[in-house]
Amino acid sequence: MTKLVANWSYPTSVRFGAGRIAELAEACAAAGIRKPLLVTDAGLAKLDITQRALSILEKGGLTPGLFSDIKPNPVESNLDAGVSAFRSGGHDGVVAFGGGSGLDIGKLVAFMAGQTRPVWDFEDVGDWWTRADAEGIAPIVAVPTTAGTGSEVGRAGVVTDEKTHTKKVIFHPRMLPKVVICDPALTVGMPPAITAGTGMDALAHCLEAYCADFYHPMADGIALEGLRLVFGNLARAVANGGDLEARAHMMSAAAMGATAFQKGLGAIHSLSHPVGALYDTHHGTTNGVFMPYVLVFNRPAIEPKIDRIAAYLGIGGGFDGFLQAVLDLRRAIGIPHALKDLKIDASRRDEIADMAIMDPTAGGNPVPLTREGALRIFDMALAGSL
Protein backbone atom coordinates (compact mmCIF):
# COMPACT_ATOMS: atom_id res chain seq x y z
CA MET A 1 0.00 0.00 0.00
CA THR A 2 1.26 3.46 -0.91
CA LYS A 3 2.25 5.57 2.09
CA LEU A 4 -0.33 8.38 2.28
CA VAL A 5 2.04 11.17 3.31
CA ALA A 6 3.43 13.81 0.93
CA ASN A 7 4.48 17.44 0.48
CA TRP A 8 2.89 19.12 -2.54
CA SER A 9 3.33 22.50 -4.18
CA TYR A 10 0.39 22.40 -6.56
CA PRO A 11 -1.56 24.58 -6.57
CA THR A 12 -0.03 25.80 -3.31
CA SER A 13 2.03 24.33 -0.48
CA VAL A 14 0.10 21.32 0.88
CA ARG A 15 1.16 19.31 3.91
CA PHE A 16 -0.74 16.05 3.58
CA GLY A 17 -0.95 13.20 6.07
CA ALA A 18 -2.51 12.01 9.31
CA GLY A 19 -1.24 13.89 12.35
CA ARG A 20 0.10 16.89 10.48
CA ILE A 21 -2.18 19.28 12.35
CA ALA A 22 0.73 19.28 14.81
CA GLU A 23 2.55 21.50 12.30
CA LEU A 24 -0.08 24.26 12.41
CA ALA A 25 2.02 26.83 14.31
CA GLU A 26 4.99 26.18 12.04
CA ALA A 27 2.75 26.58 8.98
CA CYS A 28 1.53 29.94 10.28
CA ALA A 29 5.11 31.08 10.81
CA ALA A 30 5.97 30.00 7.25
CA ALA A 31 3.08 32.17 6.03
CA GLY A 32 4.30 35.14 8.08
CA ILE A 33 1.50 34.97 10.64
CA ARG A 34 2.15 35.67 14.31
CA LYS A 35 -1.33 36.57 15.57
CA PRO A 36 -3.81 34.40 13.66
CA LEU A 37 -7.59 34.58 13.81
CA LEU A 38 -8.89 31.02 13.63
CA VAL A 39 -12.15 31.16 11.68
CA THR A 40 -14.55 28.23 11.87
CA ASP A 41 -18.27 27.49 12.15
CA ALA A 42 -20.22 27.56 15.40
CA GLY A 43 -20.65 23.80 15.65
CA LEU A 44 -17.01 22.99 15.05
CA ALA A 45 -15.81 25.64 17.53
CA LYS A 46 -17.12 23.50 20.38
CA LEU A 47 -15.28 20.33 19.36
CA ASP A 48 -11.99 19.02 20.67
CA ILE A 49 -10.22 19.30 17.30
CA THR A 50 -10.71 23.08 17.31
CA GLN A 51 -9.52 23.47 20.87
CA ARG A 52 -6.51 21.32 20.03
CA ALA A 53 -5.70 23.55 17.06
CA LEU A 54 -5.81 26.63 19.27
CA SER A 55 -3.57 24.88 21.79
CA ILE A 56 -1.05 23.99 19.08
CA LEU A 57 -0.93 27.64 18.03
CA GLU A 58 -0.42 28.83 21.60
CA LYS A 59 2.27 26.25 22.33
CA GLY A 60 4.02 27.39 19.15
CA GLY A 61 4.38 30.89 20.57
CA LEU A 62 1.49 32.46 18.63
CA THR A 63 -1.44 34.45 20.05
CA PRO A 64 -4.56 33.19 18.31
CA GLY A 65 -8.11 34.45 18.42
CA LEU A 66 -11.30 32.57 17.56
CA PHE A 67 -14.26 33.62 15.40
CA SER A 68 -17.12 31.19 14.82
CA ASP A 69 -20.30 33.18 14.13
CA ILE A 70 -20.90 31.46 10.80
CA LYS A 71 -24.04 29.80 9.40
CA PRO A 72 -23.82 26.54 7.40
CA ASN A 73 -24.62 28.64 4.31
CA PRO A 74 -22.65 31.80 5.23
CA VAL A 75 -24.19 35.24 4.77
CA GLU A 76 -22.75 38.73 4.46
CA SER A 77 -23.38 39.55 8.13
CA ASN A 78 -21.18 36.59 9.13
CA LEU A 79 -18.39 38.00 6.98
CA ASP A 80 -18.82 41.50 8.37
CA ALA A 81 -18.61 40.18 11.93
CA GLY A 82 -15.47 38.22 11.07
CA VAL A 83 -13.76 41.25 9.54
CA SER A 84 -14.65 43.27 12.64
CA ALA A 85 -13.13 40.56 14.88
CA PHE A 86 -10.00 40.47 12.73
CA ARG A 87 -9.47 44.23 12.86
CA SER A 88 -10.36 44.74 16.51
CA GLY A 89 -8.10 41.87 17.56
CA GLY A 90 -5.11 43.23 15.66
CA HIS A 91 -4.67 39.97 13.78
CA ASP A 92 -2.15 39.58 10.97
CA GLY A 93 -3.49 36.44 9.29
CA VAL A 94 -6.23 33.82 9.23
CA VAL A 95 -6.38 30.11 9.94
CA ALA A 96 -9.41 29.02 7.91
CA PHE A 97 -10.55 25.87 9.71
CA GLY A 98 -13.43 23.54 8.93
CA GLY A 99 -15.73 22.65 6.08
CA GLY A 100 -16.79 24.90 3.24
CA SER A 101 -18.38 27.56 5.43
CA GLY A 102 -15.37 28.01 7.72
CA LEU A 103 -12.88 27.86 4.88
CA ASP A 104 -14.79 30.30 2.66
CA ILE A 105 -15.50 32.87 5.35
CA GLY A 106 -11.96 32.52 6.69
CA LYS A 107 -10.52 33.33 3.28
CA LEU A 108 -13.00 36.15 2.76
CA VAL A 109 -12.17 37.69 6.16
CA ALA A 110 -8.49 37.73 5.19
CA PHE A 111 -9.43 39.25 1.86
CA MET A 112 -11.86 41.91 3.09
CA ALA A 113 -9.82 42.97 6.14
CA GLY A 114 -7.82 45.35 3.96
CA GLN A 115 -10.54 46.50 1.55
CA THR A 116 -12.70 49.62 1.59
CA ARG A 117 -15.22 48.65 -1.13
CA PRO A 118 -18.24 46.37 -0.56
CA VAL A 119 -17.59 42.65 -0.97
CA TRP A 120 -20.00 42.47 -3.92
CA ASP A 121 -17.63 44.67 -5.94
CA PHE A 122 -15.30 41.66 -6.14
CA GLU A 123 -17.75 39.08 -7.46
CA ASP A 124 -16.22 36.59 -9.90
CA VAL A 125 -17.28 38.58 -12.96
CA GLY A 126 -14.76 39.52 -15.64
CA ASP A 127 -11.80 41.33 -14.10
CA TRP A 128 -13.65 42.67 -11.05
CA TRP A 129 -10.97 41.10 -8.84
CA THR A 130 -8.56 43.80 -10.04
CA ARG A 131 -10.58 46.36 -8.05
CA ALA A 132 -9.13 44.97 -4.81
CA ASP A 133 -6.16 46.33 -2.90
CA ALA A 134 -3.97 43.25 -3.20
CA GLU A 135 -1.54 44.47 -0.54
CA GLY A 136 -4.37 44.57 1.99
CA ILE A 137 -5.07 40.83 1.77
CA ALA A 138 -3.87 39.00 4.89
CA PRO A 139 -2.08 35.63 4.59
CA ILE A 140 -4.13 32.45 5.02
CA VAL A 141 -3.41 28.98 6.32
CA ALA A 142 -6.22 26.54 5.51
CA VAL A 143 -7.12 23.39 7.42
CA PRO A 144 -10.04 21.37 6.01
CA THR A 145 -11.97 19.16 8.42
CA THR A 146 -14.25 17.70 5.75
CA ALA A 147 -13.52 16.14 2.37
CA GLY A 148 -15.76 17.98 -0.03
CA THR A 149 -15.47 21.60 -1.10
CA GLY A 150 -11.71 21.69 -1.64
CA SER A 151 -11.89 25.36 -0.72
CA GLU A 152 -8.50 24.97 0.96
CA VAL A 153 -6.85 25.05 -2.47
CA GLY A 154 -9.21 27.57 -4.06
CA ARG A 155 -8.92 31.26 -4.87
CA ALA A 156 -12.53 32.16 -4.12
CA GLY A 157 -15.17 32.10 -1.41
CA VAL A 158 -18.95 31.74 -1.58
CA VAL A 159 -21.23 33.94 0.51
CA THR A 160 -24.97 34.61 0.35
CA ASP A 161 -26.33 38.10 -0.28
CA GLU A 162 -29.12 38.29 2.31
CA LYS A 163 -30.95 41.00 0.38
CA THR A 164 -31.32 38.99 -2.83
CA HIS A 165 -30.98 35.46 -1.37
CA THR A 166 -28.33 34.66 -3.96
CA LYS A 167 -25.01 32.94 -3.47
CA LYS A 168 -22.10 34.98 -4.81
CA VAL A 169 -18.61 33.79 -5.70
CA ILE A 170 -15.92 36.28 -4.63
CA PHE A 171 -12.57 35.78 -6.37
CA HIS A 172 -9.01 36.99 -6.04
CA PRO A 173 -5.77 35.11 -6.82
CA ARG A 174 -4.31 36.09 -3.44
CA MET A 175 -7.16 34.36 -1.63
CA LEU A 176 -5.27 31.14 -2.31
CA PRO A 177 -3.95 29.96 1.08
CA LYS A 178 -0.19 30.10 1.45
CA VAL A 179 -0.07 26.79 3.32
CA VAL A 180 -2.64 24.00 3.55
CA ILE A 181 -2.67 21.24 6.15
CA CYS A 182 -4.66 18.24 4.92
CA ASP A 183 -4.88 15.91 7.92
CA PRO A 184 -7.40 13.13 7.19
CA ALA A 185 -7.52 12.24 10.89
CA LEU A 186 -9.50 15.46 11.41
CA THR A 187 -12.35 14.02 9.32
CA VAL A 188 -12.73 10.80 11.32
CA GLY A 189 -15.47 12.26 13.52
CA MET A 190 -17.69 13.36 10.64
CA PRO A 191 -21.18 11.80 10.78
CA PRO A 192 -22.11 9.52 7.85
CA ALA A 193 -24.58 12.02 6.36
CA ILE A 194 -21.99 14.81 6.30
CA THR A 195 -19.37 12.43 4.91
CA ALA A 196 -21.81 11.49 2.15
CA GLY A 197 -22.83 15.07 1.33
CA THR A 198 -19.33 16.50 1.29
CA GLY A 199 -18.14 13.53 -0.76
CA MET A 200 -20.81 14.20 -3.38
CA ASP A 201 -19.57 17.78 -3.53
CA ALA A 202 -16.09 16.50 -4.40
CA LEU A 203 -17.62 14.19 -7.01
CA ALA A 204 -19.63 17.04 -8.53
CA HIS A 205 -16.51 19.22 -8.77
CA CYS A 206 -14.52 16.54 -10.57
CA LEU A 207 -17.40 15.54 -12.85
CA GLU A 208 -18.41 19.05 -13.90
CA ALA A 209 -14.81 20.15 -14.38
CA TYR A 210 -14.15 17.19 -16.68
CA CYS A 211 -17.33 17.86 -18.68
CA ALA A 212 -16.92 21.65 -18.98
CA ASP A 213 -16.32 22.66 -22.57
CA PHE A 214 -12.97 24.39 -22.15
CA TYR A 215 -9.43 23.30 -23.01
CA HIS A 216 -7.54 22.44 -19.87
CA PRO A 217 -5.95 18.98 -20.09
CA MET A 218 -4.22 19.33 -16.72
CA ALA A 219 -7.58 19.90 -15.05
CA ASP A 220 -9.04 16.97 -16.99
CA GLY A 221 -6.36 14.62 -15.72
CA ILE A 222 -6.80 15.75 -12.13
CA ALA A 223 -10.60 15.48 -12.37
CA LEU A 224 -10.44 11.98 -13.82
CA GLU A 225 -8.25 10.63 -11.03
CA GLY A 226 -10.39 12.47 -8.48
CA LEU A 227 -13.43 10.63 -9.83
CA ARG A 228 -11.65 7.32 -9.39
CA LEU A 229 -10.79 8.14 -5.79
CA VAL A 230 -14.37 9.11 -4.96
CA PHE A 231 -15.93 6.01 -6.51
CA GLY A 232 -13.38 3.81 -4.78
CA ASN A 233 -13.54 5.36 -1.32
CA LEU A 234 -16.67 7.39 -0.55
CA ALA A 235 -18.90 4.44 0.34
CA ARG A 236 -16.10 3.05 2.51
CA ALA A 237 -15.72 6.34 4.36
CA VAL A 238 -19.48 6.58 4.96
CA ALA A 239 -19.73 2.97 6.16
CA ASN A 240 -16.71 3.19 8.45
CA GLY A 241 -15.80 6.64 9.71
CA GLY A 242 -12.56 5.30 11.13
CA ASP A 243 -11.25 4.05 7.77
CA LEU A 244 -8.30 6.42 7.61
CA GLU A 245 -7.17 5.22 4.18
CA ALA A 246 -10.59 5.98 2.66
CA ARG A 247 -10.67 9.31 4.50
CA ALA A 248 -7.25 10.21 3.13
CA HIS A 249 -8.22 9.40 -0.45
CA MET A 250 -11.43 11.44 -0.10
CA MET A 251 -9.46 14.41 1.23
CA SER A 252 -7.20 14.14 -1.81
CA ALA A 253 -10.23 13.94 -4.12
CA ALA A 254 -11.72 17.08 -2.56
CA ALA A 255 -8.55 19.09 -3.18
CA MET A 256 -8.31 17.66 -6.68
CA GLY A 257 -11.89 18.66 -7.49
CA ALA A 258 -11.30 22.25 -6.42
CA THR A 259 -8.06 22.36 -8.40
CA ALA A 260 -9.78 20.95 -11.48
CA PHE A 261 -12.79 23.24 -11.42
CA GLN A 262 -10.61 26.19 -12.29
CA LYS A 263 -11.65 24.87 -15.71
CA GLY A 264 -15.35 25.39 -14.96
CA LEU A 265 -18.45 23.94 -13.34
CA GLY A 266 -22.00 23.66 -14.62
CA ALA A 267 -25.72 23.18 -14.01
CA ILE A 268 -25.31 20.94 -10.96
CA HIS A 269 -23.84 23.89 -9.11
CA SER A 270 -25.88 26.63 -10.76
CA LEU A 271 -29.11 24.92 -9.61
CA SER A 272 -27.73 23.84 -6.24
CA HIS A 273 -26.67 27.36 -5.32
CA PRO A 274 -30.15 28.96 -5.43
CA VAL A 275 -31.78 25.96 -3.75
CA GLY A 276 -29.23 26.19 -0.95
CA ALA A 277 -29.67 29.93 -0.61
CA LEU A 278 -33.48 29.74 -0.52
CA TYR A 279 -33.96 26.53 1.48
CA ASP A 280 -30.69 26.35 3.47
CA THR A 281 -30.00 22.81 2.26
CA HIS A 282 -26.58 21.18 2.54
CA HIS A 283 -24.64 22.16 -0.58
CA GLY A 284 -22.96 18.83 -1.31
CA THR A 285 -26.13 16.84 -0.68
CA THR A 286 -28.06 19.16 -3.01
CA ASN A 287 -25.38 18.65 -5.67
CA GLY A 288 -25.82 14.92 -5.23
CA VAL A 289 -29.56 15.16 -5.79
CA PHE A 290 -29.21 17.19 -8.99
CA MET A 291 -26.32 15.15 -10.43
CA PRO A 292 -28.11 12.41 -12.44
CA TYR A 293 -30.70 14.82 -13.85
CA VAL A 294 -28.01 17.18 -15.10
CA LEU A 295 -26.13 14.23 -16.61
CA VAL A 296 -29.23 13.27 -18.58
CA PHE A 297 -29.83 16.88 -19.67
CA ASN A 298 -26.23 17.25 -20.84
CA ARG A 299 -26.01 13.82 -22.50
CA PRO A 300 -26.00 15.07 -26.12
CA ALA A 301 -22.85 17.12 -25.42
CA ILE A 302 -20.96 14.92 -22.97
CA GLU A 303 -21.55 11.30 -23.91
CA PRO A 304 -18.06 10.75 -25.40
CA LYS A 305 -16.47 12.23 -22.26
CA ILE A 306 -18.61 10.09 -19.99
CA ASP A 307 -17.64 7.05 -22.04
CA ARG A 308 -13.98 7.86 -21.29
CA ILE A 309 -14.74 8.28 -17.59
CA ALA A 310 -16.53 4.94 -17.51
CA ALA A 311 -13.64 3.23 -19.27
CA TYR A 312 -11.09 4.70 -16.84
CA LEU A 313 -13.17 3.65 -13.85
CA GLY A 314 -13.76 0.16 -15.23
CA ILE A 315 -17.51 0.69 -15.50
CA GLY A 316 -19.16 -1.14 -18.36
CA GLY A 317 -21.95 0.28 -20.50
CA GLY A 318 -20.58 3.73 -21.30
CA PHE A 319 -22.90 6.61 -20.42
CA ASP A 320 -25.73 4.40 -19.17
CA GLY A 321 -23.33 2.39 -17.03
CA PHE A 322 -21.84 5.51 -15.50
CA LEU A 323 -25.28 6.99 -14.80
CA GLN A 324 -26.25 3.78 -13.04
CA ALA A 325 -23.01 3.86 -11.04
CA VAL A 326 -23.90 7.38 -9.84
CA LEU A 327 -27.38 6.23 -8.84
CA ASP A 328 -25.96 3.18 -7.07
CA LEU A 329 -23.43 5.29 -5.16
CA ARG A 330 -26.10 7.77 -4.08
CA ARG A 331 -28.32 4.94 -2.87
CA ALA A 332 -25.46 3.27 -0.99
CA ILE A 333 -24.55 6.40 0.97
CA GLY A 334 -28.06 7.72 1.59
CA ILE A 335 -28.28 10.68 -0.79
CA PRO A 336 -31.95 11.51 -1.49
CA HIS A 337 -33.19 10.68 -4.96
CA ALA A 338 -35.41 13.74 -5.45
CA LEU A 339 -35.72 17.35 -4.32
CA LYS A 340 -39.01 16.56 -2.60
CA ASP A 341 -36.97 14.43 -0.20
CA LEU A 342 -35.21 17.68 0.85
CA LYS A 343 -38.64 19.22 1.57
CA ILE A 344 -38.51 21.34 -1.58
CA ASP A 345 -41.64 21.93 -3.62
CA ALA A 346 -42.49 23.69 -6.87
CA SER A 347 -43.55 26.98 -5.29
CA ARG A 348 -40.26 28.71 -6.14
CA ARG A 349 -39.29 26.82 -9.31
CA ASP A 350 -39.43 29.94 -11.53
CA GLU A 351 -37.32 31.93 -9.08
CA ILE A 352 -34.79 29.09 -8.86
CA ALA A 353 -34.55 28.84 -12.66
CA ASP A 354 -34.02 32.59 -12.99
CA MET A 355 -31.28 32.49 -10.36
CA ALA A 356 -29.66 29.40 -11.88
CA ILE A 357 -29.08 30.89 -15.31
CA MET A 358 -27.49 33.96 -13.73
CA ASP A 359 -25.19 31.94 -11.46
CA PRO A 360 -21.54 32.26 -12.59
CA THR A 361 -21.17 28.46 -12.71
CA ALA A 362 -23.86 28.19 -15.41
CA GLY A 363 -21.42 29.39 -18.08
CA GLY A 364 -19.42 26.16 -17.82
CA ASN A 365 -22.35 23.87 -18.57
CA PRO A 366 -21.65 21.95 -21.80
CA VAL A 367 -25.24 22.51 -22.97
CA PRO A 368 -26.07 26.24 -22.77
CA LEU A 369 -28.33 26.61 -19.74
CA THR A 370 -31.49 28.50 -20.67
CA ARG A 371 -34.40 29.23 -18.37
CA GLU A 372 -36.35 26.45 -20.05
CA GLY A 373 -33.47 24.05 -19.52
CA ALA A 374 -33.13 24.97 -15.85
CA LEU A 375 -36.87 24.41 -15.37
CA ARG A 376 -36.64 21.03 -17.10
CA ILE A 377 -33.82 19.87 -14.82
CA PHE A 378 -35.60 21.20 -11.73
CA ASP A 379 -38.82 19.40 -12.63
CA MET A 380 -36.98 16.12 -13.23
CA ALA A 381 -35.19 16.44 -9.91
CA LEU A 382 -38.37 17.38 -8.06
CA ALA A 383 -40.25 14.36 -9.37
CA GLY A 384 -37.26 12.02 -9.24
CA SER A 385 -37.87 11.10 -12.87
CA LEU A 386 -35.04 10.36 -15.30
What pLDDT digit, counting tens, does each position of 294-325 carry?
999 999 999 999 999 999 999 999 999 999 99
Q: What is the pLDDT of residue 18?
A: 96
Global pTM value: 0.94
How many whole angstroms separate alpha carbon 118 and alpha carbon 139?
20
Q: What is the mean pLDDT of the chain?
A: 96
Residue 2 pLDDT grade (very low, low, confident, very high; cuts 50, 70, 90): low
Weakest mean pLDDT among 64-68, 236-240, 260-264: 260-264
The Cα angle at residue 152 between residues 200 and 10, in degrees rounded to 5: 105
Q: Where are the alpha helices (DSSP H) in the chain?
A: 24-30, 42-45, 48-59, 76-88, 100-112, 192-211, 217-239, 244-260, 267-279, 283-313, 318-333, 349-358, 371-383
How many whole angstroms separate alpha carbon 216 and alpha carbon 210?
9
How many whole angstroms separate alpha carbon 49 and alpha carbon 347?
41
**What pLDDT digit, counting tens, does each position of 178-200 carry?**
999 999 999 998 999 999 999 99
Considering the chain, tell me which residue range(s) the CATH 1.20.1090.10 domain(s) occupy.
Answer: 190-383
If you average pLDDT over residues 201-224, what whole number do you get? Answer: 96
Exposure on the CB side of residue 321, measured as CA atoms within 13 A:
14
pLDDT at 282 > cutoff 80: yes
Residue 73 pLDDT grade (very low, low, confident, very high; cuts 50, 70, 90): confident
6-186 adopts what CATH topology? Rossmann fold (3.40.50)
If you average pLDDT over residues 154-169, what whole number do you get? Answer: 91
pLDDT at 269 > cutoff 90: yes
Considering the chain, tell me which residue range(s) the CATH 3.40.50.1970 domain(s) occupy.
Answer: 6-186
- The CATH class of 190-383 is mainly alpha
Radius of gyration of the chain from its Cα atoms, rounded to whole angstroms: 20
pLDDT at 6 > cutoff 90: no
Q: What is the pLDDT of residue 86?
A: 98
Q: What is the pLDDT of residue 9?
A: 67
Share of the chain above pLDDT 70, in %: 99
Q: What is the pLDDT of residue 1?
A: 63
pLDDT at 234 > cutoff 70: yes
